[in-house]
């Protein structure tokens, strides 16, 4: 989950490391630090808190440094303090390391090192790595050899960067398992290593992924990748797409606000190369690789991606009439699922690095099932593992709460379901074309909903600045939206929100209703679920609960019974899950501001979850 960077070249190491850490701060922002070689010694500065605080502390330090490493932390072992911030030093001061992952046997290793007289300065599991590398170098190993030997003693998943005053121009990296990516890039003035392409300078157009059990060594003149046996690995780089760069925040105060507000444009990235508007056709070319005689599709994801997977499973069942199931990837990874050759796993992962989802993909592949990944990072580990990688076209999302990646994931899964249904003959040409026409008009519908933000901001200030608990109710396609809306409130505004199926109200949830607990009800435009949601509103109000309804613009019946209404300009019922998502995102964003919370960087969270 942490962000790590390394640099070796002819330029200013400090400037690269600080810039890269700013771009990787979404991966963790409990603390940050850099270590750089300066002559025959290593200097480090590290601070609890944001990268900005680190930058303000450095002043004139590292002025002549041309190699170094940096780290921005999401704490696992040890509190987010200066002492526990990375990089960590070895007992002799000659080695510094930055680490992402968890060392499962660190307690055992620490006891052995302490028995040999080595004192520990931090509470982290990571510090053992620096001491182990230093021990091997003391015995005569090079930094590369020592790092490889030390890594063999670690249980768990790790990405490690190391520098040594014995080899002041060298940075070594190694990757063990699914602890996040490690990418190698070359700029005009040197070589660099980073967790994500977003950290690379603008003149780096290609990166080379470092795979499991590979190590890499860089200095100002060259780079070298080796495998566990020490053999040099020659591999082709991949191009960095423009959308994988962090965009300018422009007139927006927060990235979350920017990413919500640009969704009408963002979803067109999901259309690119797939939707022929003139012919009213959709084709996701990658699906040709999947078996045609699919028996079952298992959708899996974590967090927001799980809720997108829920929506996708419902559409696939409804439109393609293929049996589906939905799994939390972490739960599936923890058991022995019954899957076979005619099953397909569709893993949804915004980052493509989510540990639980990677393990779930691995289990599906071991069972003989085909695998597809739906992701915003087409060069990620998940994309390389799966048989098929489907880019959601959203570009890089910077704010920790997912917004545009959720909408784009749902849209790609909707198109996925339509294609399967049409190819199988479950959808007639007329039905298929009707859905395509609906999709074509979605950007305009999203723009109309975005235009209601002022009303939602006022509601957030008036009603949600001091709320402790709340409920969000939905049924059918709106149930995953209720779950996602509740998650946004939890992670962005720190409000205990429960996303519920309205069908569950009588089975325990009614006990939570009271005047101080507002309920948001997602009311469809028509159909049986509309009648059932109206009944749920009456039930809440009969127990003195307040109801805020999301309903179609001009819905007189809902306006007459709800305490407040957020109107949705809804012309197509198929648009409803997308359009009801956006006010919930805006409400969470403005509730966070009303409560004095930075919505881009919620406490205790990070954008990319690379640990179990």
Dist CA 409 CA 348 (whole Å): 8
Dist CA 129 CA 110 (whole Å): 10
Dist CA 21 CA 200 (whole Å): 10
500: annotated active-site residue? no
Dist CA 348 CA 361 (whole Å): 10
DSSP for 240-253, written as a single string: PPGGGSPPP-TT-S
Distance of CA 351 to the CA centre of its chain: 4
Phi/psi region, residue 547 (left: phi>0; alpha: psi -120 to 50; beta: rest), is: beta
Yes or no: say if 95 and 164 are a contact pair by the CB < 8 Å rule: yes
Residue appearing with tokens 């920790």: 400
Yes or no: say if 176 and 228 are a contact pair by the CB < 8 Å rule: no
Dist CA 533 CA 520 (whole Å): 11
Helix (H) or strand (E) holding 608: none
Q: Which two tokens stand for residue 502?
A: 């309205």
Yes or no: say if 40 and 66 are a contact pair by the CB < 8 Å rule: no
Pairing of strands 343-348, 296-301: parallel
Q: Which two tokens stand for residue 46?
A: 């590290």
Helix (H) or strand (E) holding 53: helix 51-58
Helix (H/G/I), strand (E/B), else coil: 152: helix
Yes or no: say if 549 and 564 are a contact pair by the CB < 8 Å rule: yes
Angle at 168 (CA atoms; ends 163, 170), nearest 5 degrees: 60
Question: E-assigned strands of 322-459?
Answer: 324-328, 343-348, 370-375, 388-391
Distance of CA 588 to the CA centre of its chain: 18
β-bridge mates for residue 7, sequence order: 68, 192
The residue count for the chain:
612
Dist CA 226 CA 28 (whole Å): 29
Residue from 2, 14, 258, 488 carrying the catalytic annotation: 2
Dist CA 357 CA 383 (whole Å): 11
Helix (H) or strand (E) holding 405: helix 404-423
Sheet holding 296-301, edge to edge: 324-328, 296-301, 343-348, 370-375, 388-391
Q: Which two tokens stand for residue 196?
A: 């994500």
Contacts of 565 (CB under 8 A, 6+ apart): 548, 549, 550, 551, 555, 558, 559
Nearest to 146 by CA among 98, 95, 221: 95
Half-sphere exposure of 37 (CA within 13 A, CB side): 23
Nearest to 214 by CA among 160, 255, 267, 250: 160
46: annotated active-site residue? no
Q: At what angle do helices 442-450 and 576-594 cross, to 10 degrees?
A: 30
Q: Using CB atoms within 10 A of its CB, is residue 59 exposed (0-12), middle (13-18) or buried (19+)?
A: exposed
Residue from 94, 258, 490, 607 carrying the catalytic annotation: 607
Hey, which residues are catalytic here?
2, 607
């Amino acid at each position: 989950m942490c962000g790590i960077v390394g640099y070796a070249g002819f330029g200013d190491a400090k400037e690269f490391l600080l810039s890269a850490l700013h771009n990787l701060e979404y991966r963790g922002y409990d603390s940050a630090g850099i270590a750089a070689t300066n002559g025959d010694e290593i200097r480090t500065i590290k601070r609890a808190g944001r990268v900005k605080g680190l930058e303000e502390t450095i002043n004139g330090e590292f002025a002549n440094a041309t190699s170094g490493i940096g780290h921005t932390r999401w704490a696992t072992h040890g509190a987010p303090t200066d002492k526990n911030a990375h990089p960590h030093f070895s007992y002799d001061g000659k080695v510094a390391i930055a680490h992402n992952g968890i060392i499962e046997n660190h307690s055992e290793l620490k006891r052995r090192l302490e028995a040999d007289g080595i004192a520990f300065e931090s509470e982290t599991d990571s510090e053992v790595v620096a001491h182990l590398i230093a021990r091997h170098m003391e015995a005569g190993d090079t930094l590369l050899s020592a790092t490889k030997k030390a890594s063999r003693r670690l249980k768990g998943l790790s990405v490690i960067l190391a520098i040594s005053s014995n080899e002041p121009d060298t940075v070594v990296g190694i990757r063990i398992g699914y602890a996040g990516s490690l990418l190698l890039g070359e700029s005009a003035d040197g070589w660099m290593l980073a967790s994500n392409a977003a950290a690379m300078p603008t003149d780096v157009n290609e990166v080379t992924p470092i795979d499991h059990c590979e190590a890499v060594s860089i200095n100002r003149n060259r780079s070298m990748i080796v495998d566990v046996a020490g053999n040099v690995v020659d591999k082709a780089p991949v191009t960095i797409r423009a959308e994988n760069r962090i965009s300018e925040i422009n007139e927006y105060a927060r990235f979350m606000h920017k990413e919500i507000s640009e969704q009408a444009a963002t979803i067109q990235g999901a259309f690119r190369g797939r939707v022929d508007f003139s012919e009213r056709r959709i084709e996701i070319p990658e699906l040709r690789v999947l078996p045609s005689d699919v028996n079952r599709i298992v959708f899996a994801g974590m967090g927001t991606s799980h809720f997108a997977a829920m929506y996708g499973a419902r559409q696939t069942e409804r439109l393609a009439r293929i049996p589906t199931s939905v799994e939390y990837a972490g739960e599936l990874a923890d058991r022995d699922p019954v899957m076979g050759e005619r099953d397909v796993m569709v893993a949804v992962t915004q980052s493509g690095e989510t540990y639980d989802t990677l393990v779930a993909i691995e289990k599906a592949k071991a069972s003989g099932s085909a695998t597809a990944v739906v992701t915003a990072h087409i060069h990620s580990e998940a994309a390389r593992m799966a048989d098929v990688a489907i880019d959601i076209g959203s570009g890089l999302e910077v704010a920790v709460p997912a917004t545009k990646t959720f909408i784009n994931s749902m849209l790609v899964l909707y198109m996925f379901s339509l294609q399967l249904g049409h190819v199988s003959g479950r959808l007639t040409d007329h039905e298929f074309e009707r859905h395509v026409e609906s999709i074509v008009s979605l950007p305009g519908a999203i723009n109309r909903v975005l235009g209601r933000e002022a009303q939602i901001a006022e509601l957030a200030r008036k009603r949600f600045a001091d709320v402790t608990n709340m409920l969000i109710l939905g049924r059918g396609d709106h149930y995953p939206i209720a779950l996602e809306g509740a998650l946004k409130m939890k992670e962005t505004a720190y409000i205990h929100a429960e996303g519920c199926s309205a069908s569950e109200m009588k089975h325990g949830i009614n006990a939570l209703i009271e005047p101080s607990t507002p309920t948001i009800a997602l009311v469809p435009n028509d159909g049986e679920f509309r009648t059932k949601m109206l009944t749920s509103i009456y039930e809440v109000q009969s127990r003195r609960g307040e109801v805020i309804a999301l309903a179609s613009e001009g819905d007189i019946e809902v306006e007459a019974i709800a305490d407040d209404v957020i109107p949705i300009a809804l012309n197509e019922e198929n648009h409803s899950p997308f359009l009801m998502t956006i006010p919930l995102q805006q409400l969470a964003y403005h509730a966070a501001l009303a409560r004095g919370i930075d919505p881009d960087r919620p406490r205790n969270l990070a954008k990319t979850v690379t640990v179990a």
